[in-house]
Structure 1
């Protein structure tokens, strides 16, 4: 298989030349364009998630030889979660080479966090199957770069941190309420309120409920800690 010019340029961006270019094409093929003769990237995504996890677990152990499991776990989660994968995908302009169906293209699929994160994991698996674990590890460490060293010592997500703050003060867990939903069905925008039983509240808006909840929790926690 001969790669197009844009995919050859993409190979340069990720630092890996495919001996089996069909793996790269499959990693970049979303389910919206799959067919009996064209496989999508879902199975590769499943594998890539595991390869990424192993690489990050090893990297964190080597980076901080004194950290406990309790310290390492939240750092690990921060580095492998979908948001982190999507962020790396944006940096290498993965969205520009995604193969999407018409509906996904019209709904802004090249910018969607979930699609980018999934394709990034599929790409990792494609490199792993093309050239083995060391090649996949080298690409991951190169693309994640300083994130590994700079990941916060306490990388707990904001919702967990807020719940622990409430528990330490014998308060019930915070609740998350959808205040508003705007935008079209294919690209909704959510406004979520994070609330404590004691009355404190903060709101945030994002393109997914999960991100809006995280942002609202972070805003409320910062307000509480600052008071």
Structure 2
């Protein structure tokens, strides 16, 4: 099957040239675009999640040969969670190549964390089916990069840490409110305010809602814990 310029460019960013480029096309097809003769990426996502899990489990065992299961489990969860997959997807500009239905596209589907994370898992499965485990492993370790070695610091994201802090003090979970959006549609900039029941608030600005929420949560957590 002839590959488009878009597929060829994505293959370069992934570091894998497909023998069967139709696998990559299927990995990029969201259920909103599926239909007769066009499969979506849900089954590939299921497989890719398992391949990613095995690669990360092996990588963590190799990285720290003395770590206990209790130490490895949160690191593993941080590496395979949907947010981590979405961050990698953003880094290789996977969103630009997603095949979405009109409604999903109009609602900003190319930037949605869940869609990006699912598609990244599907791409992993596509590489696995195209060239085997070694090729999928090599791509994963290349794209996840230093995350395996530095995951200790990221084992709990800022939003989770802030929520746990609030709940431990009998508060409701923090709220995240979009207070501003600027920039063009293809490159929006979001300002998000993190709020606690106790009245403390902090704003942060970033190129995605998820990043802005994380930054706001981190700043607010620093603010409320600085005097403890």
- Shared fold per TM-score greater than 0.5: yes
Once the two structures are TM-superposed, the CA of residue 54 in structure 1 deviates from its matched residue by 1.4
Gaps of 5+ in 2: 182-189
Aligned to 2:169: 171
CA distance in 2, matches of 1:165, 1:106: 36
Gaps of 5+ in 1: 184-188
**Structure 1 residues 123-181: Cα deviation after superposition (integer angstroms, max 9, x where no partner):** 001111111111111100011111211223462233543465568xx733653347679
The worse-fitting range, judged by mean Cα deviation, of 210-219 and 89-98 is: 210-219
- Displaced runs of 4 or more, over 6 A: 178-183, 189-192, 205-208, 210-213
CA distance in 1, matches of 2:93, 2:213: 27
TM-align CA RMSD:
3.1
Q: Across the two proteins, how many residue pairs are aligned to each other?
A: 218
CA distance in 2, matches of 1:50, 1:99: 23
Aligned to 1:152: 152
Change (3 A) 1:224 1:146: same
Aligned to 2:196: 195
| Residues 28 and 123 in structure 1, CA contact (< 8 A), matched pair in contact too | yes
Q: TM-score, normalised by structure 1?
A: 0.79
Aligned to 2:35: 35
